[in-house]
Amino acid sequence: MHNVDIDLIEMSLDITKQTINRLTQSNPHLGLAESEEKLKKKVGETITPHGIGGEKALKIWRNILSKNIMSMDHPRHLAFISAAPTKAAVMFDLVTAASSIHGSYWLLGAGGIFAENQAMEWMVKLTGLPEGAFGVFTAGGTSANLSAIVTARESWRMNNPENNNKKGIILASSESHSSIESMAKVIDAELRLVPIEEKLTSDLIEKTIATYSEEDRDRIFCVVATAGTTNAGIIDDLEGVATVCQKYNWWMHVDAAYGGGALLADTVRHLFNGIEKSDSITIDPHKWLFSPYDCGAIIYKNPELAKEVHKQEASYLDIFKETEANGFNPSDYQLQLTRRVRGLPLWFSLAMHGTNRYKEAIEWDIKLAEIAAEKIRSNPNLELVREPSLSVVLFKRKGWTPEDYKNWTFRNLEKGLALITPTKWRINGVRETVIRFCFINPDATEEDIDLILETLEN
Ligand SMILES: Cc1ncc(COP(=O)(O)O)c(C=O)c1O
């Protein structure tokens, strides 16, 4: 190997070490996002006919660009759905990248696919789906949801060729994730939202479809239930949704992209009852299973059906059919042909730490939400607007306008203290601006909550 390659490896490892050690510092860096214009001024032109050299490019990365990134795993980043990959998973992501594994077909990536599948078997067991259920790792929840609804729509059409000429309808709740609407557009299906205050239930679905024409009812092929809504952490009535889906022979998809990690938590596992009756489930390890980006997963009750829908046919790919008996070809079950073995970091971290550590971490996040709720209840300036669900807490700062919430968010950011963004929630029938905490990082502490609540005093 040339010396320059060794230097590059050392410099890259050095930067990685600094990056993953930031959380052990007493005052970890939250990050920032300067304007494109400012960055252009600082960085200059990096893509040139002769190259600027690895050392210079790495310096630019280390000194300028890497500072312009928000730390998703900062313990006081409680906005959106943050992330908290384990150090083991982050380091093994480096190994995964350096190994350059083609994770599409067993023939090309058997060792990597074998390891991914061990992690997948564990995830499938958590869902309680019957024997034979299996899944694959995807680029995230959006592509997992897309892989599922394409399978649902195609199986609806395979069951009755008359459906080939019909635009199918997907039912989901008004609190379902925006990716459902986007992916319905991708497959040219119609999305009908069932308005909900809290959970999607069988009664609400029945009441909604009672208002539809017979022709519209006939076009419904799938219900998407959410197990952990992004905004409030609510888990739909999965038993009830399963009952209606069985009654009308609809596909039941559960979007547990965020909530899926909580299948591990004994304190809330009962809320997921009914998930084992679904046809497909999305779980994002890059959300609450402590994996680095990007890693989603789609699990099917009947993977053979998904294979019939997703497998790609080409004469140059025929050879993989010959080797099919030897192992599993992940490309057959989701959208992507060439794919990285993005489940490998999860596998390594699970293998290293054991599943109990994962369970404890998720229980702690749920506990943090309860601790925060208790502090909010006892603070006269604050009002808890609903009981916490999973690791999400919604509350109001009494007397604040939407502008006040926005200014507070940016003040915390400027101070490098926290990233917490407002959202909207119905209070007495009116959608109001509220503060939303979502705990993902098990390194967050009660002191972190106190520091944040102090900023709401005046
Ligand atoms: C419930 C739910 N579904 C789907 C998604 C989309 O997942 P991704 O961003 O991994 O595509 C999210 C993202 O926050 C989510 O919370």
CB count in 10 Å sphere of residue 216: 13
Q: Which ligand 1 atom lies nearest to the CA of residue 258?
A: 16
- Superfamily of domain 359-454, CATH level 4: Aspartate Aminotransferase, domain 1 (3.90.1150.10)
**Ligand 1 centre distance from Cα of residue 74 (Å):** 20
Atom of ligand 1 nearest to the CA of 229: 1
0.85 exceeded by the pTM? yes
Comparing CA positions, the residue from 449, 456, 443 lying closest to residue 388 is 449
Segment 422-452, tens digit of pLDDT: 999 999 889 999 999 999 999 999 999 999 9
pLDDT in tens, 222-255: 999 999 999 999 999 999 999 999 999 999 999 9
Taking only the tens place, the pLDDT of each residue in 293-317 is 999 999 999 999 999 999 998 888 8
Structure tokens at 167: 């635009």
Backbone dihedral angles phi then psi of residue 200, each to the nearest 5 degrees: -80, 130
Structure tokens at 381: 């300036």
Beta strand segments in 307-453, E: 382-389, 392-397, 422-427, 430-438
* Both tokens assigned to 319: 């050879």
Report CA 58 to chain centroid distance, whole Å: 30
Closest Cα partner for 107 from 319, 335, 336? Answer: 319
The token duo for 413 is 């950011």
Q: How far is the CA of 53 from the centre of ligand 1 (A)?
A: 38
Please tell me the predicted confidence (pLDDT) of residue 323. Answer: 76
Q: How far is the CA of 426 from the centre of ligand 1 (A)?
A: 22
- Decide the pairing of beta strands 392-397 and 430-438: antiparallel
Instruction: Of 148, 161, 308, give the one whose Cα is nearest residue 225.
Output: 148
C-alpha–C-alpha distance, residues 14 and 305, integer Å: 46
To test the ligand 1 pocket, which listed residue (137, 138, 146, 177) has its Cβ within 8 A of the most ligand atoms?
Answer: 177
List the domain boundaries for the chain: 1-30+34-66, 94-353, 359-454
Do 306 and 297 form a contact (C-beta atoms < 8 A)? no
Q: Which CATH number applies to 94-353: 3.30.9.90, 2.40.110.10, 2.40.440.10, 3.40.640.10?
A: 3.40.640.10
Contact 116, 137 (CB under 8 A): yes
Instruction: Give the residues surrounding ligand 1 with Cβ less than 6 Å away.
Output: 81, 140-142, 177, 179, 226, 230, 255, 257-258, 284, 296
d(CA 269, CA 228): 12
Mutate to test the pocket of ligand 1, among 142, 253, 336 (most ligand atoms within 8 A of CB): 142
Percent of the chain with pLDDT over 90: 87
Query: Cα-flanking dihedrals φ and ψ of residue 101, to 5°?
Result: -95, 135
The string of pLDDT tens digits covering residues 265-290 is 999 999 999 999 999 999 999 999 99
